[in-house]
A and B are shown apart, each in its own frame.
Chain A
Amino acid sequence: MNSDELLAALRRREDWAYRKLYREYAGKIGSIAKAYLGTDDVDDVVQEVMIKVLRNIKKFKGKSKLTTWIYRIAVNVCKDFLSKYRRRGEILTDFPEDEERSFIHPSADTDVFSEAMNSIAYDRLMKAVEKLPSEDRLLVKLRDIDGLSYEEISQVLGKPIGSVKSGLHYARKKLRQMIEGAKQ
């Protein structure tokens, strides 16, 4: 099954294609939403993105990758949610106490640097990440976690490649400073 067949089936509004698209992309969309909004409660965002994607699938011309197009919709929906939350004055970032369980401890063969990292209190690191602006968190997520190219990120964010590059370098610098701060 290639993406053209999936697209054709989506345009024919076939149920199996809806299901496949959901299973393939819901996790990625949720992950973007978590990074951008800094909250765990992203089910509504995922739902809205999926509905928007399927409602507008006929408008997708294939000029970019399907993933890039979906990410772009996800970022736009996140922006809408963020402004909605801000209007209501809601605090978004939530890092539950039991989050410690998801902390990845370095494996036995990792070096001294991983151990140093492990010494950073998880909560302190997360608090530092909270302070990182949404756009910066998203840049780090898209480039350093998901491994998207600068061109793809530029398509997702609707910004020139130069701005993406400089924004990412700045975000990395800020994150590094925050890591340093969390270590102390």
Chain B
Amino acid sequence: MNEQEFNSFFDGELKDSDLDAETLNEVKLYSEAVRILKARFEYTPSPVSEARVLAKLSKKKRIFRQVVITASAVAIALFAVIALWPEKPSSPPQSERAAVTDVFDYLNTVRLVGDGF
């Protein structure tokens, strides 16, 4: 049997008329075996299996959607809290602080006078 011719036939490079009798026998025997193997390897998915896979995928999709919704809600809530948080009371400006100091100095002076300075 010619090994190269055998493989060339299956690669579509040779026709069966190009083969010698012995190689042709091997080709036919091998083709028949391949036909049996094809039937042996055939797989028909069951509807149960399909439902199981699709259910699993929809569950993942649902979980993903819920995570996105939850994350968006948390982000909105956080933004609202930051935006509406009451501002820290600011210290009086420099000029006001100076005026207050002047008032207290004046009152101290008045107290000293009152104490009999």
Given the complex, which residues of A lie within 8 Å of B45, measured CB to CB? Answer: 22, 26-27, 30, 43, 46
Are A31 and B29 CB-contacts (below 8 A) given A26-B50, A47-B53, A129-B37? no
Given the complex, which residues of B lie within 8 Å of A9, measured CB to CB? Answer: none
Are A141 and B41 CB-contacts (below 8 A) given A18-B54, A104-B36? yes
Query: A140 near B: Cβ within 8 Å?
Result: yes
Given the complex, which residues of B lie within 8 Å of A51, measured CB to CB? Answer: 53, 56-57
Candidates B3, B33, B46, B61; contact of A179 at CB < 8 Å: B33
Interface size on A, residues (CB 8 A): 49
Listed in ascending order, the chain B residues whose CB lies under 8 Å from chain A are 3, 6-7, 10, 25-26, 28-30, 32-46, 49-50, 52-54, 56-58, 60-61
Chain A to chain B contacts (Cβ below 8 Å), 9 pairs: A22-B45, A29-B43, A34-B40, A51-B57, A55-B60, A102-B40, A140-B37, A176-B26, A179-B33
Listed in ascending order, the chain A residues whose CB lies under 8 Å from chain B are 13, 15, 18-19, 22-23, 26-27, 29-31, 33-35, 42-43, 46-47, 50-51, 54-55, 99, 102-104, 106, 111, 113-114, 116-118, 122, 125-126, 129, 140-141, 143-145, 168-169, 172-173, 175-176, 179
